[in-house]
Structure formats: structure tokens, C-alpha cells
């Protein structure tokens, strides 16, 4: 017996407790200028048979672990000994058993379909996969995937409803920017109108929709437009979640080359924050939850629900800007080396002070040093 299943490289942070089921490999578009995740990797669709075989392998492993745990009198605490016993006679690596044990310990409630654009499969194929997941794992309450707006825009409202009814419940959609000029510059392959149409279609079908917004992706050239036009898309869609992903130009991306050629100018940490402030100011008449759930964002504190938390979120940004320059710069350094996560964590820290002094003596600006730190961070 060999219970193995294929895994893709990434999932959203909010899917940390989900089991991952790979339905396609890599990204069918793969041209966004800021993205390095699948560069050089060829896109392919997996067959429904392959995917079902993976789901069955996950089911087999889960069954073996649970029955072994029960034989030890406890199906809640899965120890190393239980895992070894469960895997006896299976040539699959312990890695697979560890993956599923982790999922079991978190209640087997959520599933994430990989990779970048699962809805590129035919609707009836996705439905077959969803049906099999629900049949094998009745405990699953949420099935999520990444989806490109362009792909959703090609699905009919009926197809979206069928997918929702079959159990797909949450979509993560990379808006990045709502500005047509920026979308074109970053080669997102989608227009503002397509983003709005896709978002509205998903919301109308009853999906929990996560929209990703990238402060700074327009560079200094399109900073205001990036905020205002992104807020315009968000207002038209009213997604369940808005997730902030601050832009960092990574060395192996075309965006980095644009920066080196002087065609795109990165925002400083403070400018990105100012852009977020402008975005939030323009997010009116929505009920979305804003999340800063990524280490690339300067302030993870900026979280809350519109409209009631809007002023609180703006207030947090204002508190940062009200700090003396040296404290702001020390917070930025401390944040980038993992000492501070929230603004409330800020304190006089010898490690930060020492690095701050070194950076000041070697770099013209703090942001030059931050770019170096971030390059090596991701």
C-alpha cells in the first residue's frame, strides 16, 4: 500500500488548519510582474481520477490514524507512537501521516484546493471533486480555493451557484489593484470591470469572498490612484474580507527589473501606510472585514469591520504618524526583524537600537535597508 497525495507550494495563511488537495499544478496565467511563486513552472490540470485518488489516500490515512488512536482509547490525542503504528505496512513517507494527523487534530473542518486557479477546471469536474470530498469527509464545513477574476468572469451565474451548492464556500481572489493603469502595468491580465463582475458574481452566489489589495503596487507613479480605484472595486463588490498584502519587489520578478530600470518606484514603508489610509477613507458603504494578516504589512493592527471599525483603523495609522520620526523608524526596523508585530509592542529595545545605529551609518535612508531586509525575508 502507498497512500500518497500531491501537494502544491502555497496556501493562504488563513488555511493553516486545512487539508490541501491539489487540483491543478501552478498558475495558468503566470505573468503577474510582482509574483514569483510559479515562475518557470508549467501549468497543468490534474485529472479528476488523480484527484479522487488523492482524496481516497487522505481518507485511508485518516481512517488508519483514527482507528489506531481509538485502539489506544483516545481519538483526540494523536501521538508519535500512534502515527508509527497507523503507518505500519504503508510505504508512504511519515510526512503524509503527519500532514493528516495535524488536520485531524484540528477537527477536519476545512479543505483548501490548490494551486492558483482551481476554477479553470470545467465546472462539472470541480463539482465531482467537491462531491467526493463531502462524501468522504462529512465533517468538512469549509472548502476554499484561489481563483482568478478572469476565470470567474467566464463562468455563468448558474455555474457559480452550482459550485457553491456543491460545497465550495470560500474564494480568494487577487484583486491587487482596482486601477486599470496599474493592472496593465503589473500584467494582471484582468480589468477593473472584470474584477467587479467576478466579485459580484461570487458574492451573489453566496461565497465568502476574500479580495487581496496590494498597497504600493502602483509605485509612486500611481499611489493615489491605486488606493482610490481599489476602494472603488471594493465598494462595488462588498467582499466578505479585504486582505492587505503590501508590495515588496522581489529580486527574481519583472517588477524588480522595472524598479532597476527606473520604470516603477517603490513606496517607502510610510508611504504604503499612507496609501492604506487613503484606501480605507474611500471604503464607504461596505460591510467587509479588513485583515492585515501578512508579515509584509507594517502594521498588523489595522484590522476591523466596516463601517463600525473604520475610524478605529484610521486612528491606528494616525497614532503611528504621530510618533516622533526616530521612533517610527525604530518601529519599522523592529518590525522587519520580527521584534514588533503590533504598534502596541513598540518599546525601547537594545537590539533594535543597535541595528538602527548601524543602518543610519551605512544607508542614506531607512527604506534602503528595509528593502534589503525584505528581499531576504520572503
Q: How far is CA 180 from CA 117, 136, 188, 195, in A?
A: 21, 43, 10, 10
Residue 304 three-state SS: strand
Peptide bond into 354 cis (omega under 30): no
How near is the Cβ of 148 to ligand SF4 at its closest, in Å? 5
Q: How far is 194 from 34, CA to CA, in rounded Å? A: 20
3-state secondary structure of 251: coil
The residue length of the chain stands at: 378
Does the footprint of ligand SF4 cover residue 148 (CB under 6 A)? yes
Q: Decide if residue 174 touches ligand SF4 (CB under 6 A).
A: yes
Residue 250 Cβ, how far from ligand SF4 at the closest point, in Å?
12
From 25-33, 48-56, 195-203, 224-232, give the range in contact with ligand SF4 by CB under 6 A.
25-33
**Within positions 103 to 142, which residues make up the interface with ligand SF4, using CB under 6 A?**
116
Counting contacts by CB under 6 A, is residue 171 touching ligand SF4? no
Alpha helices in 13-122 (DSSP H): 48-71, 80-86, 94-105
Query: Is 217 one of the binding residues for ligand SF4 (CB under 6 A)?
Result: no
Between CA 167 and CA 162 the distance in angstroms is: 9
| Nearest distance, CB of residue 39 and ligand SF4, angstroms | 8
Shortest gap between Cβ of 1 and ligand SF4 (angstroms)? 35
Q: Name the H helices within the chain.
A: 48-71, 80-86, 94-105, 123-136, 149-154, 157-165, 180-185, 192-204, 223-237, 254-260, 269-282, 310-322, 325-336, 350-362, 366-375
For residue 60 the three cell numbers come to: 485511508
What CA–CA distances, in Å, run from 143 to 6, 28, 108, 155, 172? 18, 21, 11, 19, 11
Taking the C-alpha atoms of residue 332 and residue 263, their distance in angstroms, rounded to an integer, is: 26
Closest separation between CB of residue 172 and ligand SF4, Å?
Answer: 10
Least Å distance between CB 368 and ligand SF4?
26
Q: Which residues contact 355 (CB under 8 A, 6 or more apart)?
A: 333, 337
35 near ligand SF4, rule: CB under 6 A: yes
The verdict on 198 binding ligand SF4 (CB under 6 A) reads no
CB of 37 to ligand SF4, least distance (A): 5
By beta-carbon proximity to ligand SF4, the closer residue of 4 and 37 is 37
- Cβ-based nearer residue to ligand SF4, 193 or 287: 193
38, 137, 320, 340: which one binds ligand SF4 (CB under 6 A): 38
Determine the interface stretch with ligand SF4 among 22-30, 45-53, 62-70, 128-136 (rule: CB under 6 A). 22-30
Total binding residues toward ligand SF4, as defined by CB under 6 A: 11
Q: List the one residue from 4, 14, 37, 123 that touches ligand SF4 (CB under 6 A).
A: 37
Nearest distance in Å: CB 186, ligand SF4:
9
205 makes contact with ligand SF4 (CB under 6 A) = no
Residue 213 within binding range of ligand SF4, rule CB under 6 A: no
Chain position carrying cell 535597508: 369
Of 53 and 187, nearer to ligand SF4 (C-beta) is 187
Q: Which of 20, 21, 27, 248 binds ligand SF4 (CB under 6 A)?
A: 27
Under DSSP, the state recorded for 1 is -
What's the CA gap between 40 and 36, in Å, rounded? 9
Question: Does residue number 353 form part of the binding site for ligand SF4 (CB under 6 A)?
Answer: no
| Contact criterion met (CB below 8 Å) for 209 and 175 | no
Binds ligand SF4 (CB under 6 A): choice among 6, 14, 17, 30: 30
Q: 114: which strand partners?
A: 22
Nearest to ligand SF4 of 60, 253 (CB atom):
253
Site residues, ligand SF4 (CB under 6 A): 27, 29-32, 35, 37-38, 116, 148, 174
Amino acid at each position: 500500500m502507498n497512500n500518497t497525495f500531491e501537494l502544491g507550494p502555497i496556501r493562504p495563511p488563513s488555511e493553516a488548519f486545512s487539508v490541501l488537495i491539489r487540483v491543478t499544478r501552478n498558475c495558468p496565467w503566470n505573468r503577474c510582474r510582482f509574483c514569483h511563486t510559479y515562475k518557470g513552472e508549467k501549468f497543468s490540470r490534474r485529472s479528476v481520477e488523480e484527484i479522487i485518488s488523492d482524496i481516497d489516500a487522505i481518507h485511508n490515512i485518516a481512517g488508519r490514524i483514527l482507528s489506531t488512536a481509538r485502539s489506544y482509547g483516545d481519538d483526540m490525542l494523536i501521538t508519535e507512537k500512534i502515527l508509527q503504528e497507523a503507518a505500519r505496512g504503508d510505504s508512504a513517507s511519515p510526512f503524509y501521516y503527519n500532514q493528516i494527523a495535524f488536520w485531524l487534530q484540528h477537527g477536519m473542518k476545512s479543505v483548501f484546493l490548490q494551486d492558483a486557479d482551481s476554477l479553470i477546471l470545467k465546472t462539472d469536474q470541480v463539482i465531482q471533486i467537491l462531491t467526493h470530498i463531502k462524501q468522504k469527509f462529512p465533517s468538512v464545513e469549509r472548502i476554499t480555493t484561489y481563483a482568478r477574476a478572469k476565470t470567474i468572469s467566464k463562468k455563468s451565474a448558474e455555474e457559480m451557484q452550482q459550485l457553491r451548492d456543491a460545497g465550495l464556500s470560500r474564494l480568494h481572489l487577487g484583486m491587487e489593484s482596482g486601477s486599470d493603469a496599474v493592472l496593465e502595468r503589473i500584467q494582471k491580465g484582468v480589468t477593473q470591470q472584470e474584477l467587479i463582475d467576478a466579485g459580484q458574481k461570487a458574492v451573489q452566489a453566496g461565497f465568502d469572498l476574500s479580495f487581496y489589495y496590494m498597497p504600493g503596487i502602483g509605485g509612486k507613479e500611481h499611489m493615489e490612484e491605486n488606493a482610490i480605484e481599489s476602494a472603488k472595486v471594493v465598494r462595488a463588490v462588498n467582499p466578505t474580507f479585504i486582505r492587505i498584502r503590501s508590495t515588496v519587489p522581489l529580486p527574481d520578478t519583472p517588477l524588480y527589473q522595472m524598479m532597476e530600470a527606473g520604470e516603477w518606484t517603490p513606496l517607502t514603508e510610510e508611504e504604503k501606510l499612507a496609501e492604506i489610509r487613503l484606501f480605507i477613507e474611500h471604503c464607504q458603504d461596505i460591510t467587509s472585514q479588513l485583515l492585515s494578516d501578512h508579515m509584509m504589512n507594517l502594521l498588523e493592527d489595522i484590522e476591523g469591520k466596516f463601517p463600525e471599525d473604520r475610524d478605529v483603523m484610521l486612528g491606528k495609522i494616525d497614532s503611528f504618524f504621530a510618533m516622533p520620526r526616530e521612533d517610527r523608524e525604530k518601529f519599522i526596523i523592529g518590525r522587519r526583524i520580527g521584534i514588533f508585530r503590533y504598534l502596541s509592542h513598540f518599546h525601547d529595545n537594545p537590539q533594535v537600537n543597535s541595528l538602527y545605529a548601524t543602518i543610519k551609518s551605512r544607508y542614506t535612508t531607512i527604506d534602503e535597508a528595509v528593502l534589503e531586509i525584505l528581499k531576504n525575508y520572503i
